[in-house]
Amino acid sequence: MKDKLNLFFSENNFDLKEPHSGHLERFERKLNRSNKKLKTSWKWLSVAASVVLILGFWLGSNHQKRQLDLADISPKMEEVQNYFVATINQEIKTLELNRSLDTEKIIENALDELDELEDSYKVFVQDLTKNGNQRRIIAAMIKNYQRRLDILERTLKQIDKIKNTNNPNNEIYL
């Protein structure tokens, strides 16, 4: 092992001279100057990046197109939408309270139909946003809400029939 080290040092020429006087001071001055330059450039870069980010967020929020809904048309339409949404939510809660093994399939079918109508409603919202306040779109949106209520009422009637047929108190003995 010693031979390999001796051989390595003997084959390579290393500079063993001492640096000129004042070398350490010159080196420290250059090091301090370069640190100051780096700090100031990073500060400006961070300020510029912040400005770009703020500008980007501002432009993005201003150019983002807001979707219109039935409630945005007029105060009366807002009342209509609030009525339908509240009634539909109440009916769905009633459905969920009546969920059982006998009614599971009926409730799931009704909820699937409601999901399809919700997807249609989203298309109407996009049309309303794109085309503006058009009567046919507004009428279609209201009809969509009415169909949802019809589905829920029909389903609740079916559940009542199932409950009445399963209720032993309604049996007639001969």
Percent of the chain with pLDDT over 90: 18
Among 64, 79, 109, identify where a domain stops.
64
Checking if the pLDDT of 37 tops 60, the result is no
Checking if the pLDDT of 142 tops 80, the result is yes
Q: What is the DSSP letter of 133?
A: S
Q: Tell me how many helices (H) and strands (E) the chain has.
A: 5, 0
Residue 109 lies in a domain: yes
- Within this chain, do residues 151 and 75 fall inside the same structural domain, yes or no? yes
CB atoms inside a 10 Å sphere around CB 132: 10
Which residue range forms the structural domain that includes residue 50? 31-64
- Within this chain, do residues 74 and 160 fall inside the same structural domain, yes or no? yes
Region 91-115: mean pLDDT is: 89
Residue 103, C-beta contacts closer than 8 angstroms, at least 6 positions apart: 158, 159, 162
- Within this chain, do residues 85 and 48 fall inside the same structural domain, yes or no? no
- Within this chain, do residues 44 and 80 fall inside the same structural domain, yes or no? no
Higher confidence at residue 126 or residue 34? Answer: 126
Specify which of 16-25, 84-93, 157-166 reaches the highest per-range mean pLDDT: 84-93
Region 148-156: mean pLDDT is: 92
Report residue 157's pLDDT band, with 50, 70 and 90 as the boundaries.
Answer: very high
Residue 78, C-beta contacts closer than 8 angstroms, at least 6 positions apart: 70, 71, 72
Residue 8 lies in a domain: no
Checking if the pLDDT of 76 tops 90, the result is no
- Structurally, the chain folds into a number of domains equal to 2
Burial (CB count within 10 angstroms: exposed 0-12, middle 13-18, buried 19+), residue 141: buried
The residue ranges of DSSP E strands in 6-162, in sequence order, are: none
